A = this chain, B = another copy of it.
Amino acid sequence: PDTDAAAAAADRNGQLTKPPAALGRLEDLAQWYAGWRGNGRPALENPQVVIFAGNHGVAAKGVSAFPPEVTVQMVANFEHGGAAINQLSKAFGAKMDVHAIDLDRPTGDFTETPAMDDADVLAALLTGWNAVDPQADLLVTGEMGIGNTTAAAAIAHALYGGTAQDWVGRGTGVDDAGLTLKAQVVADGVARHKGGDGLDTLARLGGREIAAMAGAILRARVEGIPVILDGFICCSAAACLQAVAPDALDHCVAGHVSAESAHPALLAKLGKEPLLSLGLRLGEGSGAALAIGVLKGAVACHSGMATFAEAGVSAG
């Protein structure tokens, strides 16, 4: 971040017509945003939502409440404007792009082989990298991929330990038997692929859409584009980056805490306090897109309010 811009934003914040700190987290958000944008009085006008879709070999194990063909069906729904994320992107003035990555070629079933080889994971990272519009001033990364809460749980279990049960949840809605199976699948995968760094974990246990989100988050940092993280799967992608470099997510805020049971623990590992807690568990970037409104409000107040001097208000 740009320390001069952050300092200018802090100075401005202290002069605005409100009691000190009366806008709470909005003040912190605006100053964080100003620092990453390199502008003490920034605008937020061009948010971008990018959705990546991938298919997972491990879905064949029966870990999801929905069949794998739903991934490609939902991509068509995104393209035709019918999904939740289409409505939320429009509501908050974000442009939205969808990248379906090799849907006819699922990743390997990680209980048997690595999900991706080096070429595969690199291609997915680059898809994410190239998907970011350098002119965007905010990025939301979302995903679609039947089976991907299983991959995300495996990543979290591999990076942070505990038990497989600690990290699995009901995803789109598996029953108790499905949850038990999911924990066994995650335990098997992590036992097979233990060791390695964050990028090794991403390749062996992740998925193409998860790797693409990681690539996009990394590109955003290089471009000075702040990121709003979405739910459990998006955060598992972010966790792989943080495992490699502890400050890799300084340009990111957590948009929400989802109803997926391990998301609070994953956010705690990332050191991120969510902006919203509304029980969403849809993915697609939906929780993060909803949080665009909060960030827009924060930046609008910071950059649009009058100072005490400008407004002739007594400063108390």
Q: How many copies does the complex hold?
A: 2
Query: Considering only CB atoms, which chain B residue lies closest to A24 in the complex?
Result: B279
**Within 8 Å CB of A278, what residues of B?**
24-26, 275, 294
Cβ of A248 under 8 Å from chain B: no
Cβ of A90 under 8 Å from chain B: yes
Q: Which positions 73-128 of chain A face chain B at CB distance < 8 Å?
A: 73-74, 76-77, 80-84, 86-88, 90-92
With A293-B92, A297-B91 given, is the CB distance from A73 to B311 under 8 Å? yes
In the complex, are the beta carbons of B316 and A66 less than 8 A apart?
A: yes
In the complex, are the beta carbons of A280 and B23 less than 8 A apart?
A: yes
**Within 8 Å CB of A275, what residues of B?**
278
With A297-B92, A314-B67 given, is the CB distance from A19 to B282 under 8 Å? yes
**Within 8 Å CB of A69, what residues of B?**
314
Cβ of A172 under 8 Å from chain B: yes
**Within 8 Å CB of A8, what residues of B?**
none
Cβ of A18 under 8 Å from chain B: yes
Q: In the complex, what's the smallest C-beta–C-beta distance from A219 to chain B, in angstroms? A: 26
**Within 8 Å CB of A17, what residues of B?**
74, 77, 82-84
**Within 8 Å CB of A310, what residues of B?**
82
Q: A19 touches which one: B18, B22, B173 (CB < 8 A)?
A: B173
Q: Which positions 294-316 of chain A face chain B at CB distance < 8 Å?
A: 294, 296-297, 300-301, 304-306, 310-314, 316
A65–B311 alpha-carbon span in the complex (Å):
19
Cβ of A7 under 8 Å from chain B: no
A314–B279 alpha-carbon span in the complex (Å):
24
Query: Considering only CB atoms, which chain B residue lies closest to A311 in the complex?
Result: B77
Q: Which positions 155-200 of chain A face chain B at CB distance < 8 Å?
A: 172-173
Cβ of A130 under 8 Å from chain B: no
Query: Considering only CB atoms, which chain B residue lies closest to A284 in the complex?
Result: B18
In the complex, are the beta carbons of A84 and B311 less than 8 A apart?
A: no
Cβ of A259 under 8 Å from chain B: yes
**Within 8 Å CB of A311, what residues of B?**
73, 76-77, 80, 82
**Within 8 Å CB of A86, what residues of B?**
304-305
Cβ of A243 under 8 Å from chain B: no
A293–B298 alpha-carbon span in the complex (Å):
12
**Within 8 Å CB of A70, what residues of B?**
313-314, 316
Q: In the complex, what's the smallest C-beta–C-beta distance from A292 to chain B, in angstroms? A: 8
Q: Which residues of A approach B to under 8 Å, CB–CB? A: 16-26, 65-67, 69-70, 73-74, 76-77, 80-84, 86-88, 90-92, 172-173, 259, 275-282, 286, 289-290, 293-294, 296-297, 300-301, 304-306, 310-314, 316
Listed from nearest, the 8 A-B pairs whose CB atoms lie closest are A24-B279, A82-B306, A293-B293, A87-B304, A87-B300, A66-B316, A22-B282, A19-B172
Q: List 13 A-B contacts (CB under 8 A).
A: A18-B84, A19-B281, A22-B281, A23-B84, A26-B280, A69-B314, A70-B313, A70-B316, A76-B312, A84-B301, A86-B304, A87-B305, A88-B301
